[in-house]
């Protein structure tokens, strides 16, 4: 796991000067990975630590709360995935309205120059910095002429820029195939198994009721998934995300039926990887019709997961 520093002032004053990138990195998607690969490559060539500089909360939350977008990842999962890409340290700056007032020249000289001591900067195609996003790469090169700046082009997929917004759109629509391609991995949610109403058990399909803090959930429907228990094993499963209209439900739930599983999952943490969308959620005329459909869902999920393999 990367070392996490609470603010640029906490970054060590001693040690090799880092290669730095700046961004939110929500999702750590395909586009982010291209940028991070360049970061790690340059750091390796220079014998320097690769460092991510980011903000918490994100600037959008502070400056445009009415435009709030759900996070793709929880903070711990973001840090873990950044580490898997080779990042050695993450500097998390607290972002508030006071910080947002700092002009570009202050940010360049104080944050990048004095506090982080960046020996090289790797940024994305749309990089901006400073108050009102007035700073760009051209200005940064004028402010810090001795700081090499590498700008990475946008990663494209099917003629569209690979972005966190594109990921959110695909996940919300339940387009799991597109979300997986954009992310370079399955979209997942993480949560704790809590007590439910036991209806699944009474009809022969016990489910784990997952209470999740993940903000970005797929659209209502039935999905083939892998459930990773806290011991790390990928368990083939079928998940229903919705309000249980057959039982006149109104609150959205994530319920996971693990195939061929006899153990107890209550109180355990599950990571649910969405592998494929099987169908829309719908209301059935009676419980027998629902049971017949669940049997079909189980068969479909089993076949789908055999084809796709575990993540």
Q: Does residue 42 belong to any structural domain of this protein?
A: yes
φ, ψ at 174 (rounded to 5°):
75, 15
Residue 231 is predicted with a pLDDT of: 77
Same domain, 14 and 150: yes
Residue 212 falls inside a structural domain: yes
- 222 closest CA partner among 187, 274, 172, 261: 274
Q: What is the pLDDT of residues 36-79, one digit of tens each?
A: 999 999 999 999 999 999 999 999 999 999 999 999 999 999 99
Judge whether 170 lies within some domain.
no
Report how far Cα 168 is from the mean position of its chain's Cα atoms. 10
Looking up residue 71, the CATH number of its domain turns out to be 3.40.50.620
Look at phi and psi of residue 24 and say left if phi exceeds 0, alpha if psi is from -120 to 50, else beta: alpha
How far apart are the C-alpha atoms of 262 and 270, rounded to whole Å? 16
Taking the C-alpha atoms of residue 76 and residue 209, their distance in angstroms, rounded to an integer, is 22
Q: Would you list the DSSP string of 61-87? A: HHH-GGG----SS-HHHHHHHHHHTT-
Q: Domain check: are 10 and 132 in the same one?
A: yes
Residues 142 and 218 in one domain: no
Same domain for 99 and 37: yes
Token look-up 């900067």 returns: 121
| Predicted local distance difference test score (pLDDT) of residue 282 | 87
Residues 11 and 155 in one domain: yes
pLDDT digits (tens, 9 = 90+) for 107-157: 999 999 999 999 999 999 999 999 999 999 999 999 999 999 999 999 999
Same domain, 102 and 206: no
Same domain membership, residue 226 and residue 130: no
Distance of CA 43 to the CA centre of its chain: 24
273 domain residue, yes or no: yes
Which residues constitute the domain of residue 250?
186-308
Quickly state the pLDDT bin for 181 (edges 50, 70, 90): very high
Within a domain: 247? yes
290 against 285, higher pLDDT: 290
Residues 153 and 59 in one domain: yes
Contact 173, 219 (CB under 8 A): yes
Residues 32, 156, single domain; the answer is yes
The pTM of this model reads 0.92
In a domain, 219, yes or no: yes
Tell me: pLDDT of 245 over 60.
no
Domain co-membership, 27 together with 80: yes
Residues 190 and 101 in one domain: no
Strand 149-151 with 120-123, pairing: parallel
Total domain count for the chain? 2
Report residue 73: phi and psi, to 5°.
-125, 150
Q: What is the CATH number of the domain that holds 234?
A: 2.40.30.30
Position 133 in a domain: yes
């Amino acid at each position: 796991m990367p070392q996490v520093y609470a603010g640029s002032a906490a970054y060590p004053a001693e040690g090799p000067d880092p290669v730095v990138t700046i961004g939110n990195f929500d999702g750590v998607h395909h586009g982010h990975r291209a940028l991070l690969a360049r970061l790690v490559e340059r750091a390796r060539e220079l014998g320097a630590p690769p460092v991510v500089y980011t903000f918490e909360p994100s600037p959008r939350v502070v400056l445009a709360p009415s435009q709030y977008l759900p996070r793709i990842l929880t903070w711990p999962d973001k840090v873990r995935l950044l580490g898997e890409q080779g990042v050695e340290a993450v500097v998390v700056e607290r972002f508030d309205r006071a910080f947002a007032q700092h002009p570009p020249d202050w940010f360049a000289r104080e944050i990048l120059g004095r506090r982080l001591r960046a020996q090289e900067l790797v940024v994305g195609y749309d990089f901006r910095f400073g108050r009102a996003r007035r700073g760009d790469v051209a200005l940064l090169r004028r402010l810090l002429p001795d700081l090499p700046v590498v700008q990475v082009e946008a990663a494209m997929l099917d003629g569209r820029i690979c972005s966190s917004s594109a990921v959110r759109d695909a996940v919300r629509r339940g387009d799991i195939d597109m979300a997986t391609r954009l992310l370079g991995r399955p979209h997942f949610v993480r949560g704790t198994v809590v007590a439910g109403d036991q209806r699944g058990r009474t009809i022969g399909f016990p489910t784990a009721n997952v209470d999740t803090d993940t903000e970005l959930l797929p659209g209502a429907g039935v999905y083939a998934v892998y459930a990773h228990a806290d011991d790390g094993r990928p368990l083939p499963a079928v998940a229903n995300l919705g309000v249980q209209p057959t039982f006149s439900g109104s609150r959205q739930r994530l319920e996971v039926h693990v195939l061929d599983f006899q153990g107890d999952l209550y109180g355990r943490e599950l990571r649910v990887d969405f592998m494929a969308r099987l169908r829309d959620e719908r209301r059935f005329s009676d419980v027998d019709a629902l049971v017949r459909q669940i049997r079909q869902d189980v068969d479909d999920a089993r076949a789908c997961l055999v084809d796709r393999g575990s993540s």
